[in-house]
Structure 1
């Protein structure tokens, strides 16, 4: 059974000391929404998340709410394994697919087919598995012979289409999303939306951050609101199953 268990999770980032510390504190407070503290390892730190505790089980669809800098993206990256807890604990069980940066791990000098393998490795898949899926990914991306050419000649839209096709090619137990993805032209976007709906419907757990209440209300059964790195509300979404 898939699950996520976070207990008193905290994540801090060390900040190099400068002479005008008060100015630095004010600037980072405005930009990140985090809270400043101190530690033995660094004279100044920013606490991006503090005392985050929640549990998710199969069937849960969690929407993360909050202003920019509230800690939503940091929490998603912690769930994806990008950030390790400074204190507290975070346990997950189940295959995780992160749709936070769908082109992460790509090499611009490598061909599209080579990047299928490289991006797949970032997602925890084997080269053999990605080669087996290459035809399916190629068909979905609609990039044709461009997949035999270096990615540096791709447009940004082509890169995103390839990254999306790779990232959604394998079913996941836990899906992490920072906003509902919008990729490609209108025709491709419709196909991508159907793929996302199918992927999230079959996932055991979904965690999505969004500034659009309509997205949260339509697919989530629970919300957590963050402010300055702490949970200020944790509630069920009315009208969801």
Structure 2
């Protein structure tokens, strides 16, 4: 049997969506108690199969709402499959939602330690790597500013810097770099390449197909929750582009 670091087997993710408009939380609970609240099933992913070997770089492509982020959340353990299995053999550093793991009322300094704790690092460990994190994020001048005053690009800088301070087994990046400036985005891409060279496995979502081709060896194309094609990044990306024309 192959040594897969990520194995997704016949995974389906289902959500229940309210089938009527409800204006406030009170109305929602009244209808729920009276059993008058009707739901429609929505399948965000349908029978997805994906096996990723250690050290591979996979791009996940598709139009908005196709299920890309849902797949990443499934692999990260944020979501559980309605059907199927997901196995992950390693430590994950997920960069899925901007600001995830941060308290916006705290300063960047305080959030470095908070985020480090959520990733399983000790205070001593974070103190040892603090300067390295802030240096990479280029945020010395804004260290004691509450993060609610940060731009989305600054939040992305800090989140990426903390998550990649160590070398996780699996790095998951979901379009978060799109909010950064060009120079910092290239800096992040260089760090990801260094991590790949060191054996880290990458799962990468980007709407820029050229970035997928440059960063990834493999790709999976998802459309309306269904895996349309997977394999070598160049081939899958070209098929996706052809389908959009």
1:223–1:235 Cα contact (<8 Å) kept: yes
Q: Secondary structure at the match of 1:94?
A: coil
- Distance change (3 Å), C-alpha of 1:129 and 1:68: same
Within 5 A, what are the aligned runs for 1:72-111?
72-111=68-107
Deviates more, 1:124-133 or 1:166-175: 124-133
Matching of residue 4 in structure 1 with residue 1 in structure 2: no
Q: 1:132 to 1:79 in 2, by over 3 A?
A: same
Give, in whole Å, the separation in 2 of the partners of 1:12 and 1:183.
29
Q: 2 CA distance for matches of 1:184 and 1:60?
A: 25
TM-score, normalised with respect to structure 2: 0.77
Q: Which residue of 2 aligns with 1:212?
A: 208
CA deviation map 1:11-33 (0-9, x unaligned): 111112439xxxxxxxxxxxxxx
Question: 1:1-241, aligned counterparts within 5 Å?
Answer: 3-18=5-20, 43-179=39-175, 181-182=177-178, 184-237=180-233
What displacement does 1:185 show? Answer: 4.3
C-alpha separation between the residues in 2 aligned to 1:182 and 1:17? 33
Q: Where do 5+ consecutive residues of structure 1 fail to align?
A: 20-41
Q: Aligned-pair RMSD on alpha carbons?
A: 2.5
Mapped to 1, the partners of 2:182 and 2:49 lie a distance apart of: 40
Corresponding pairs, count: 217
- Between the aligned partners of 1:225 and 1:8, the Cα distance in structure 2 is 16
State whether residues 172 and 203 of structure 1, in contact with CA within 8 Å, keep that contact through their aligned partners in structure 2: no
CA distance in 1, matches of 2:143, 2:47: 45
C-alpha displacement at 1:5, in angstroms? Answer: 0.8
Q: Give ranges in structure 2 of 5+ residues lacking alignment.
A: 22-37, 236-245
Q: Provide the rounded CA distance (Å) in 1 between the counterparts of 2:91 and 2:148.
A: 31
Change (3 A) 1:135 1:167: same
CA distance in 1, matches of 2:181, 2:63: 29
Runs of 4+ in structure 1 deviating by more than 6 angstroms, as ranges, are none
SS of equivalent to 2:166: coil
